[in-house]
């Protein structure tokens, strides 16, 4: 049987519009929900990362201070410091890993009579790429700022709006804008773009309420002991191919233990440390996407029902085809193709509806929660179409097998 004839026979299955709509509904819902949920999950994950107030890059390793066990509390020890970051960056065994230290201090900022609780953060020129920060106005901290220990700062969006007012606007040659924090006067050279969070919080440890200053100036004025609240390391990509993450963690721990007199008063975190969180997200994705698979199974049952009805209605046609020489295998393949074509049609309609609803949902969520990226995952389209065709073949097999087993004589007698 030629492809054109197969398409014509498949068209006969959906000739009745009401019956076709009811038949395809389950497949459309199932395929559309897979595309929709995949799009929302991808957009939601990106929005969460964008709203995160911490460094979130997958290739980063973080070192934090930690409690010392009871056995080591009386031993001589060193606090985590910028010197540790420099030692890690200079270590040959780490393959030239880039290291950046950070110190924070909650203080109050003042501009005239206006006051606001903030977090003062020591920063370096590499901070924007580390935290995925963007500027709304002005510039970021430079190497010259660090070398000269300038009292300059970059303020969060909320700090600017509450202490200075108006939209961020810093131009070269404009009058100096200053704020007082922790008893020191800082010149504002940049303003960060608004970085909203999910929900609300009174904490100052969010980027909209932070003030970033050169780490050298921070140490000279506030932290002469050079203590660090965390250290970030990013391994060189070529070195990462040679050393597995576990080996890298071991090298970092050995280097710090040597500097801290054998006392482990720190903890190391990397992407493997958050494996449980990733597992939870994967389980949520699996559960949500399984709802689409369930809807596809329901659609498959509808296709089986309509194909059984179709076989009954076309019994005489089957008898004529058998009488002119069509084999049972040809009849089986014909009805299997019809079931797969009908199911695939529902899959295409589901994909189109899923993309459309994803776009509308993205536009609505952007109004409700801020920036929301509209993303269509190619794998969800391939999965939806593949599952729809598979469901059509699986649930269409029994009606097709039943049609192929009809006796030609009995089929020709049918009215």
Give the mean model confidence (pLDDT) for residues 269-293. Answer: 69
Dihedrals phi, psi of 301, to nearest 5 degrees: -65, -40
pLDDT at 144 over 60: yes
| CB-based contact 334:2 (threshold 8 Å) | no
pLDDT the model gives residue 223: 86
pLDDT at 190 over 80: yes
Compare 405 and 23 and report the one with higher pLDDT: 405
Compare 352 and 306 and report the one with higher pLDDT: 352
| CB-based contact 190:140 (threshold 8 Å) | yes
57-101 pLDDT, tens digit per residue, is 556 788 888 887 777 777 777 888 888 888 888 877 776 667 788
Reduced to 3 DSSP states, what percent helix, strand and coil does the chain have, rounded to the nearest 5?
Answer: 55, 15, 25
21-32 pLDDT, tens digit per residue, is 777 788 888 888
Q: Give the least confident one: 2-11, 117-126, 272-281, 340-349.
A: 2-11
**Reduced to 3 states, what is the DSSP secondary structure of residue 61?**
strand
**Reduced to 3 states, what is the DSSP secondary structure of residue 90?**
helix
Dihedrals phi, psi of 116, to nearest 5 degrees: -155, 130
Distance of CA 30 to the CA centre of its chain: 23
> Which whole-number Å values give the CA distances from 317 to 341, 366, 408, in the listed order?
20, 55, 10
pLDDT at 403 over 60: yes
If you average pLDDT over each of 152-161, 190-199, 259-268, 375-384, which comes out highest? 152-161
Give the mean model confidence (pLDDT) for residues 23-51. Answer: 77
pLDDT at 44 over 80: no
pLDDT, averaged across the chain: 78
According to DSSP, the residues that pair with 114 across neighbouring strands are 111
pTM above 0.95, yes or no: no
pLDDT at 385 over 60: yes
Query: Percent of the chain scored above 90 by pLDDT?
Result: 7
pLDDT the model gives residue 38: 83
| CB-based contact 162:195 (threshold 8 Å) | no
Give the Cβ contact number of residue 358 at 10 Å.
24
pLDDT grade, residue 145 (50/70/90)?
very high
pLDDT at 167 over 50: yes
pLDDT the model gives residue 173: 44
pLDDT the model gives residue 241: 44
Q: Is 172 exposed, middle or buried (0-12, 13-18, 19+ CB in 10 A)?
A: exposed
197-206 pLDDT, tens digit per residue, is 655 555 666 8
pLDDT the model gives residue 3: 47
pLDDT the model gives residue 277: 55
Q: Rounded to a whole number, what is the distance in angstroms from the first to the last CA of the chain? A: 24
pLDDT at 359 over 60: yes
pLDDT at 354 over 60: yes
Residue 144 tokens read as 């010259």
pLDDT grade, residue 152 (50/70/90)?
very high
pLDDT grade, residue 388 (50/70/90)?
confident
Give the mean model confidence (pLDDT) for residues 25-52. Answer: 77
**Reduced to 3 states, what is the DSSP secondary structure of residue 33?**
helix
Element housing 65 (H / E) = strand 60-65
pLDDT the model gives residue 202: 56
pLDDT the model gives residue 15: 52
pLDDT the model gives residue 149: 92
């Amino acid at each position: 049987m030629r492809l054109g004839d197969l398409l014509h026979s498949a068209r006969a299955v959906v000739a009745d519009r009401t019956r076709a709509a009811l038949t395809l509904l389950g497949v459309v819902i199932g395929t559309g929900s897979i595309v929709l949920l995949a799009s929302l999950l991808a957009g939601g994950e990106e929005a969460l990362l964008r709203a995160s107030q911490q460094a979130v890059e997958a290739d980063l390793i973080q070192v934090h201070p930690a409690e010392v066990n009871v056995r080591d509390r009386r031993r001589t020890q060193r606090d985590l410091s910028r010197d540790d970051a420099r030692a890690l960056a200079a270590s040959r065994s780490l393959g030239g890993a880039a290291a950046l230290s950070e110190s924070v201090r909650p203080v109050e900022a003042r501009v005239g009579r206006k006051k606001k609780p903030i977090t003062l953060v020591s920063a370096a020129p590499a901070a924007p790429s580390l935290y995925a920060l963007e500027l709304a106005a002005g510039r970021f901290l430079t190497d010259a700022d660090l070398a000269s220990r300038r009292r300059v700062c970059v303020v969060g969006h909320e700090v600017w709006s509450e202490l200075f007012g108006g939209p961020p606007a810093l131009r070269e040659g404009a009058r100096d804008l200053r704020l007082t924090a922790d008893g020191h006067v800082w010149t504002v050279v940049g303003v960060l773009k608004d970085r909203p969070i999910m929900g609300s919080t009174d904490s100052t440890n969010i980027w909209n309420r932070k003030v970033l200053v050169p780490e050298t100036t921070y140490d000279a004025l506030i932290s002469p002991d050079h203590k660090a609240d965390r250290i970030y390391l990013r391994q060189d990509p070529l070195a990462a191919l040679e050393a597995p993450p576990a080996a890298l963690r071991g090298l970092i721990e050995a280097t710090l233990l040597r500097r801290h007199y054998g006392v482990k008063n720190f903890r190391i975190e990397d992407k493997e440390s958050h494996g449980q969180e990733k597992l939870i997200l994967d389980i949520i994705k699996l559960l949500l996407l399984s709802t689409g698979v369930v809807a596809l199974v329901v659609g498959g049952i509808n296709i089986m029902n309509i194909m059984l009805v179709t076989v009954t209605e076309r019994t005489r046609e089957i008898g004529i085809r058998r009488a002119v020489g069509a084999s049972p295998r040809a009849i089986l393949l014909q009805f299997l193709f019809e079931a797969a074509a009908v199911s695939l049609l529902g899959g295409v309609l589901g994909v189109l509806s899923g993309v459309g609803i994803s776009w509308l949902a993205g536009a609505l969520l952007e109004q409700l929660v801020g920036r929301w990226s509209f993303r269509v995952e190619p794998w969800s389209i391939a999965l939806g179409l593949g599952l729809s065709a598979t469901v059509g073949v699986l649930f269409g097999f029994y009606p097709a097998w039943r049609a192929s087993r009809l006796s030609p004589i009995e089929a020709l007698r049918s009215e």
